[in-house]
């Protein structure tokens, strides 16, 4: 069996690795536009901060693919995907047929609709080459403006601040981490960010980026202007559906897949940031990992179903561990909210209970209990009996 994987990000590499673990004889070919071997994207932040050397960026040893008998073809652009067959066609004209094809070509950084956002010294951070460009531009320090106060924007700001740059964050919403935190949690986080010397502007809409003799100037909707040497847009991602759409595969926000991760074309699968399952494109690490594993099984003819992923992120944001899982805001007066906070320590814990069960949670400033509460939310565990104790630091989650 010949399996072709398009993309060497997390989904592509986990799928290739899983196929090899399940079947030692299958031929596996991975096509990737990037010239670099697989690296976890969070490593780019640590690299920019100066805490991770270049050689430590990569997930596997240099000879890993060779030992796994995976044919890695880096720096290769695909001209077309042909579902009938299926096969892929490189920009050099080579057509590579296969028995099973996985589209794991991920997403690209979204560019906000701001006048001048396509100009010089405006960057995104999606690839290692992006990180190298930003690092080179700020190697002697300087001023950086980050548009976006989500997870990526705040981590970019922290990294650049630690590397010696002066950093400003401009966020459209009225709070930081608008998708992961409520107002209380965001206020605690904002205080921590301010103490790090990062200048944050909330509810701020950037209307224009223009160059002048001193560098760049950002003009906000309220008339304020700021000077900066570079701008980094951290405004989310867009699934790279163009190859699939051109091939006639069904696409919406992502490439539409069924419970086996197969597209509408037999033998053609999609996983990770590019995939859309049951109307949802996740864009998170746990979903990419689970989808890659399911796709790999089904590519080999081993039936396995994907049942969705409970939204669950655990990251370190400006030095604080932040876990967000499931719903973080109540939907009705019947929902019950439990919370506990110690702002001076950056600790905020919140549990949303719906019909007696855990519907979601926010855990910030501590990892203790974070994985356990995430599991309770994932299985919608009934916790009415323990709701007065759940937020205790010493609570034993094994009893639930």
Q: Are residues 219 and 247 in the same domain?
A: no
Does 117 fall in a domain? no
Does 7 fall in a domain? yes
Does 150 fall in a domain? yes
Q: Are residues 208 and 171 in the same domain?
A: yes
Boundary of a domain, candidates 188, 205, 233: 233
pLDDT, position 179: 81
Band (pLDDT 50/70/90 cuts) for residue 321 is: confident
Most confident of 178-182, 228-232, 329-333: 228-232
Q: Are residues 378 and 280 in the same domain?
A: no
The CA-to-CA distance between both ends of the chain, in Å, stands at 45
Instruction: Tell me the backbone φ, ψ of residue 191, rounded to 5 degrees.
Output: -60, -40
Specify the higher pLDDT residue, 297 or 120.
297
Q: Which domain holds residue 285?
A: 2-108+238-299
Q: Are residues 256 and 209 in the same domain?
A: no
Nearest of 29, 197, 31 to residue 98 by alpha carbon: 29
Residue 395 pLDDT > 70: yes
Q: What mean pLDDT value characterizes the chain?
A: 94
Q: Are residues 160 and 256 in the same domain?
A: no
pLDDT digits (tens, 9 = 90+) for 198-223: 999 999 999 999 998 889 999 999 99
Boundary of a domain, candidates 198, 233, 268: 233
Q: Are residues 136 and 213 in the same domain?
A: yes
How many CB atoms lie under 10 A from the CB of residue 87? 16
Band (pLDDT 50/70/90 cuts) for residue 312 is: low
pLDDT digits (tens, 9 = 90+) for 346-372: 899 999 999 999 999 999 999 899 989
Rounded to an integer, what distance in angstroms lies between the CA atom of residue 394 and that of residue 400? 14
Q: Are residues 100 and 135 in the same domain?
A: no
Q: Are residues 102 and 246 in the same domain?
A: yes
Does 115 fall in a domain? no
The torsion region of residue 121 among left (phi > 0), alpha (psi -120 to 50) and beta comes to left
The torsion region of residue 93 among left (phi > 0), alpha (psi -120 to 50) and beta comes to left
Rounded to the nearest 10°, the torsion over CA 86, 89, 94, 98 is -20
Please count the structural domains in the chain: 3
Interstrand relation of 225-228 and 107-109 (parallel, antiparallel or unpaired) = unpaired
CATH number at residue 49: 3.50.50.60
Q: Can you tell me the mean pLDDT for 167-174?
A: 95
DSSP 297: H
pLDDT, position 238: 95
Q: Are residues 216 and 130 in the same domain?
A: yes
Q: Can you tell me the mean pLDDT for 67-76?
A: 98
Give pTM, 2 decimals.
0.89
Q: How many helices (H) and strands (E) does the chain have?
A: 9, 25
Does 50 fall in a domain? yes
pLDDT digits (tens, 9 = 90+) for 16-66: 999 999 999 999 999 999 999 999 999 999 999 999 999 999 999 999 999
Rounded to an integer, what distance in angstroms lies between the CA atom of residue 335 and that of residue 356? 9
The token pair that represents 179 in the structure block? 């998708």
Boundary of a domain, candidates 190, 214, 233: 233
Does 305 fall in a domain? no
Beta bridge partners of 82: 87
Q: Are residues 226 and 256 in the same domain?
A: no
Q: Are residues 356 and 322 in the same domain?
A: yes
SS3 at position 187: helix
pLDDT digits (tens, 9 = 90+) for 268-297: 999 999 999 999 999 989 899 999 999 999
Q: Are residues 10 and 104 in the same domain?
A: yes
Does 343 fall in a domain? yes
């Amino acid at each position: 069996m010949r399996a072709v994987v398009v993309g060497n990000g997390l989904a592509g590499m986990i799928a290739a690795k899983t196929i090899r673990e399940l079947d030692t004889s299958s031929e596996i070919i991975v096509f990737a536009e990037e010239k670099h071997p697989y690296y976890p994207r969070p490593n780019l932040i640590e690299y920019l901060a100066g805490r991770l050397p270049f050689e430590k960026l990569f997930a596997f040893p240099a000879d890993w693919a060779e030992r796994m008998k995976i044919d890695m073809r880096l720096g290769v652009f695909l001209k077309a995907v042909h579902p009938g067959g299926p096969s892929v066609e490189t920009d050099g004209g080579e057509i590579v047929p296969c028995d099973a094809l996985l589209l794991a070509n991920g997403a690209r950084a979204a560019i906000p609709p701001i006048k001048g956002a396509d100009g010089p010294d405006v960057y995104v951070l999606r690839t290692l080459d992006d990180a190298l460009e930003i690092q080179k531009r700020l190697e002697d320090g300087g001023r950086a403006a980050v548009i976006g106060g989500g997870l990526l924007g705040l981590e970019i700001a922290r990294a650049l601040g630690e590397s010696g740059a002066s950093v400003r964050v401009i966020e459209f919403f009225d709070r930081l981490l608008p998708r992961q935190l409520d107002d209380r949690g965001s206020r605690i986080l904002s205080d921590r960010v301010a103490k790090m010397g990062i200048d944050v502007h909330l509810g701020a809409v950037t209307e224009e980026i223009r160059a002048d003799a001193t560098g760049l100037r950002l003009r906000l909707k309220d008339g304020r202007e700021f000077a900066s040497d570079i701008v980094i847009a951290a405004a989310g991602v867009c699934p790279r559906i163009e190859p699939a759409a051109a091939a006639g595969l069904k696409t919406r926000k992502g490439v539409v897949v069924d419970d086996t991760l197969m597209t509408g074309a037999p033998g053609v699968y999609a996983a990770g940031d590019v995939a859309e399952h049951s109307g949802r494109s996740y864009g998170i690490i746990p979903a990419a990992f689970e989808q890659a594993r399911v796709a790999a099984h089904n590519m080999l003819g081993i039936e396995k179903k994907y049942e969705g992923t409970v939204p669950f992120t655990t990251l370190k944001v400006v030095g604080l561990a932040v876990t967000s899982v499931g719903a973080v805001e109540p939907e009705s007066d019947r929902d019950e909210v439990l919370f506990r906070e110690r702002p001076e320590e950056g600790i905020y814990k919140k549990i949303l209970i719906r019909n007696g069960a855990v519907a979601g949670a926010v855990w910030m400033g501590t990892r203790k209990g974070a994985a356990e509460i995430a599991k309770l939310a994932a299985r919608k565990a009934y916790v009415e009996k323990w709701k007065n104790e759940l937020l205790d630091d010493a609570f034993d989650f094994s009893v639930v």
